[in-house]
């Protein structure tokens, strides 16, 4: 199988709205990025801009200098700060043009809702001259597709469910029929636990130099994600290109590559398959293992009980005492809930600002303990503790040495 030989369409996304610059989460760009990938369109950049005509127009033209497809979301409402129509018209060099059919559709929408239509809604019936209007059956903000040279500017409403409907039911069919859109980009994510990102990078450095397939890494909460993306004519051809790369990754990373499930879900799956029950002892109010499991329904479902017994503050104890607290707490949790396995965690701050973290694992094959040092002053530090505890449990369930 060979990758596609035609040059893929390059795209950029522009999310428009001053509220996005004030901290509101931009979910539209994430959705569009996924849709573009599965459609074989190469996303170059995403942008977030406020409701300013000159700035939006400049961003559209800048994007068109690199990409053949620019997708804008937001700013198509009826109020004066909804200026995307004017900005895109300025960018493509065309005046705005009134469409009676769009106004009729907007009026019908208001009539169906039994609400009066305001005069300001007439603004929503204008699109740049020569643009292809896109009626919006799920809202009052029509979209449109404008051309500038060989480039396309697709403008969609910012309301997420309206944007998604128009993209899937109007924009994608248009691109496939009018611009011969073809090919797919298949993305697979694999998780690696118990091995640092730099060490992973050393083992797979040559694979990360490829262009199709491409391999990239990102780390979060002590788990590294490996992303493999492949471009091909069909999903079947993409799979054929991806399989040997995944096999090489598994060979080089061995027991540290945990697969396509996140760590908490994998541990839950293993506990279920092996019919093992789990209880927790958390000696700190932050309860890092519980919160890591709580990230998914699968993870939380595997937990039978939590014994939370934080030390009074301020209180300092030596390392041996902390290790004993973790072990005795795990034994008590196992006894209280009559489980097969129990994890105990006790973290103690040290004078240097770091904390000594003690993890105890109680199992039918015996008890084990390990000690690590973490900076727990930022809240994110506790996420690494939760990951370490679950990685210890994963290794126990799979029969790997607990201290690689």
- pLDDT reported for residue 300: 82
This model's pTM is above 0.95: no
| Model confidence at 163: pLDDT above 90 | yes
What integer pLDDT is reported at residue 182 of this predicted model?
Answer: 74
Q: What is the pLDDT of residues 276-315, one digit of tens each?
A: 999 999 999 999 999 999 888 888 888 999 999 987 765 6
Of the pLDDT bands very low, low, confident and very high (cuts 50, 70, 90), residue 2 is: very low
Q: Are 234 and 163 in contact (CB under 8 A)?
A: no
pLDDT over threshold 70, residue 71: yes
What pLDDT score does 7 carry?
59
Give the per-residue pLDDT at 314: 57
pLDDT value of position 313 = 63
How much of the chain exceeds pLDDT 90, in percent? 76
Q: What is the mean pLDDT of residues 102-115?
A: 90
**140 exposure class (CB count in 10 Å sphere: 0-12, 13-18, 19+):** buried
For residue 1, pLDDT beyond 70? no
Mean pLDDT of 85-89: 98
Instruction: Write down the H helix ranges in 349-380.
Output: none
Domains of the chain with CATH codes: 10-178 (3.40.980.10), 184-259 (3.30.70.2860), 263-398 (3.90.950.20)
Could you report the per-residue pLDDT of 29-38, keeping only the tens digit for each? 999 999 998 8
List of long-range contacts for 210-214, beta carbons under 8 Å, 24+ apart: 210/245, 212/3, 212/241, 213/241, 213/242, 213/245
Q: Work out the percent of the chain whose per-residue pLDDT is above 70.
A: 97
Report d(CA 145, CA 134) in Å as an integer: 8
Whole-number mean pLDDT of the chain?
Answer: 92
Residues in the chain, total: 404
Summarize the confidence of residues 364-386 as an average pLDDT.
92
pLDDT of residue 372: 93
Asked if 232 and 262 touch (Cβ cutoff 8 Å), the reply is no
Give the confidence band of 143 by pLDDT, cuts at 50, 70, 90: very high
- Which of 52-61, 202-211, 214-223, 311-320 shows the lowest mean pLDDT across its residues? 311-320
User: Average of pLDDT values for 13-33?
Assistant: 96
- How far apart CA 280 and CA 304 sit, in angstroms, is 8
pLDDT given at position 6? 43
Condensed to tens digits (0 to 9), the pLDDT of residues 259-270 reads 999 999 999 999
Q: Does the pLDDT at position 4 exceed 70?
A: no
The whole-number average pLDDT for the span 227-252 is: 92
| Mean local confidence (pLDDT), 156-184 | 91
Residue (of 404, 361, 397) closest to 269 by Cα position: 397
DSSP symbols for 202-241: HHTTTGGG-SSSEEEEEEETTEEEEEEEEEESSHHHHHHH
Query: Over 70: is that where the pLDDT of 404 sits?
Result: no
Residue for token pair 């200098």: 65
């Amino acid at each position: 199988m060979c990758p596609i030989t035609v040059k893929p369409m390059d795209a950029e996304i522009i999310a428009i709205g001053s509220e996005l610059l004030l901290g509101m989460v931009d979910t539209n760009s994430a959705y569009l990025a996924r849709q573009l990938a599965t459609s074989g369109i190469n996303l170059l950049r995403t942008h977030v801009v406020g409701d300013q005509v000159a700035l939006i127009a400049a961003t559209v033209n800048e994007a068109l200098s690199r990409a053949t497809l620019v997708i804008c979301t937001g700013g198509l409402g009826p109020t004066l700060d909804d200026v995307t129509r004017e900005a895109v018209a300025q960018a493509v060099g065309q005046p705005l043009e009134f469409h009676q059919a769009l106004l009729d559709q907007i009026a019908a929408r208001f009539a169906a809702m039994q609400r009066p239509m305001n005069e300001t809604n007439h603004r929503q019936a204008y699109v740049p001259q020569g643009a292809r209007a896109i009626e919006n059956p799920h809202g009052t903000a029509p979209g449109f597709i404008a051309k500038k040279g060989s480039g396309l500017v697709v403008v969609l409403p910012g309301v997420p469910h309206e944007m998604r409907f128009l993209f899937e039911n109007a924009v994608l069919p248009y691109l496939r029929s009018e611009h011969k859109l073809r090919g797919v980009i298949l993305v697979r994510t694999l998780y690696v636990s118990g091995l640092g990102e730099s060490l992973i990078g050393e083992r797979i450095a040559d694979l990360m130099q490829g262009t199709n397939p491409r391999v990239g890494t990102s780390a979060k909460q002590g788990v590294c994600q490996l992303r493999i993306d492949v471009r091909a004519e069909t999903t079947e051809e993409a799979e054929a290109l991806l399989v040997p790369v995944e096999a090489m990754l598994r060979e080089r990373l061995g027991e540290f590559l945990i697969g396509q499930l996140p760590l908490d879900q994998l541990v839950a799956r293993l506990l279920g398959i092996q019919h093992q029950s789990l209880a927790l002892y958390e000696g700190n109010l932050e309860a890092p293992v519980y919160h890591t499991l709580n990230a998914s329904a699968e993870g939380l479902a595997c937990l039978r009980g939590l014994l939370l017994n934080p030390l009074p503050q301020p209180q300092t104890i030596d390392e041996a005492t902390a290790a004993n607290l973790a072990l005795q707490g795990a034994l008590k949790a196992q006894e209280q809930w009559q489980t097969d396995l129990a994890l105990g965690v006790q973290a103690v701050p040290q004078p240097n600002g770091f904390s000594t973290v003690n993890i105890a694992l109680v199992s039918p094959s015996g008890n084990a303990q390990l000690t690590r040092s973490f900076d727990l002053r930022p809240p994110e530090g506790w996420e690494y503790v939760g990951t370490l505890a679950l990685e210890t449990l994963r290794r126990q369930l799979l029969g790997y040495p607990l201290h690689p």
